[in-house]
Amino acid sequence: MQPDFRQSVEGLGFDLRAARAERRRHPSLEHVRLGARVAEEVVDSTEGRPGAIVVGSSLVEVAVDDLGAIPDACLGGADPAQVLGVQKCQICQGAGGLCRRLGPRPPALHRSSQEIVAAADSLCYSAKNAGKFLKPRKERVHGLLGIMKQLRIVYRPLGVIGIITPWNGPFILGMNPTVQALMAGNTVLLKGSEVTPFSTQLVESIFRDAGLPQNVLQVIMGDGETGACITEAGGEKVSFTGSVRPRRIIAPSCGRQLIPCTLELGGKDAMIVCEDADIDRAAAGAIVGSCMNTGHYCCGTERIYVVEKVYDEFLAKVIEGTRKLRQGADLGFEEDVGAVFWDRQMSIIEDHVEDARTRGATIHVGGRRNPGLKGLYYEPTVMSNVDHDMKIMQEETFGPILCVQKVRDVEEAIRLANDSPYGLNGNVWTRDKNKGFDIACRIDTGAVSVNDMAMSYGCLLYTSPSPRDRTRFRMPSSS
């Protein structure tokens, strides 16, 4: 039996506390007028161009019928296991609905693996394991107190979670934190990028089709101003994925309110190629790591440090492989590297490449827009003779660029890998896995792969108290 849900009023992207207070004073209140920024996107990618983006100020009348809908388990009124069972059923239905929408299209499935397959995996993983993660547990009390005392840890939902996501993986980056928050018994305000609003809206529709109670998940359309409103809305936590600049608004806001926040702020991932690496495999990993999703990937490889003994061989194989990459919408699902998402990112890519060129970098492949294609196509690019005085080795480029730097040994590679304000991911290539493990432990970043790239496994559940696991590295099989 589905548990009852406590009704509460939340303003969409504005002042949640004021809206709650207003609802208590006026129980019949049905609408709140909110200032918002509204964005619409017309999608037209047939020639590798993003659609027209129309952003304007308007005053929007938004229904606020019970945004909260927080389970009574949050107040101790219902059995948490029962609530979790309902959420699990709905999330499993959501995964099924996602697969049905995809249909029997193997090429599309392959090309959509970053968004579709990852989302289905996230849904199923959370539904299968959340009960174990959230189960109350006993902890041993140390010393003599252990004879007389008992300690139990119980997880409770936080409440309303604000989730703000970017444009480069709009569906999976909206789905993943949302399913974790919902599975932990919270409600969600989800705002995707203003330039990919419909991908985020798909997250809401999938859960609605699965039977999630109305307004437990609400998607808000808007730009950065709307995101700023969410951080000040009086919720219980904010999760943000995006660039560094918004952090300077979100982190202080959450600090003033004494609420937690989760910030994933991009990366400048380093790749280290040891002298005993499988060079064919490492070169292939470098190309995929740098060019997947047109380089629009937070865990993409942006700096490659190669020990001088194998540098020439590695560079030659990377150049050869990059020249084989295909571009063009006419190729359909056979295309290897697509168009740059929008002109703002193209400007950053061109600026970084030109800065490196003027400072002495050697461009072996690419280094320009594709002259044979219409739209925002940038050729997959291989550069050498790069150094840390160049923007392209210090700032997030987010494009299909391979920057290869020769180093004397692994020690120099580790030093350069750690010479960065970023710390999201990284990868090490060696035939000796124990050696790879030791190097991974010395790289100052959140996760490191050995003989693999852009992989990070973990589950963050929006509860309080929360486990503080930090995955440092992943070691795949040798296959």
What distance in Å separates the CA atoms of residue 163 and residue 467, rounded to the nearest whole number?
20
What distance in Å separates the CA atoms of residue 404 and residue 282, rounded to the nearest whole number?
12
Is 291 considered catalytic here? Answer: no
Residue with tokens 């139990």: 152
Out of 10, 41, 232, 264, pick the active-site residue: 264
Is 40 considered catalytic here? Answer: no
**Residues, the chain:** 479
**How far out from the chain centre does Cα 37 lie?**
23
- Return phi, psi of residue 6, to 5°: -75, 135
- Return phi, psi of residue 414, to 5°: -65, -40
Determine the 3-state secondary structure of 318 from DSSP: helix
Beta strands 160-164 and 187-191 are parallel
Q: Cα separations (Å) of 440 from 48, 147, 271, 283, 302?
A: 38, 42, 11, 19, 17
Which candidate, 114, 7, 19, places its Cα nearest to that of 71? 7
- Sequence-distant (6+) residues with CB within 8 A of 301 are 269, 270, 271, 285, 286, 289, 290, 402, 427, 453, 454
Out of 291, 298, 299, 403, pick the active-site residue: 298
* Active centre residues (catalytic): 264, 298
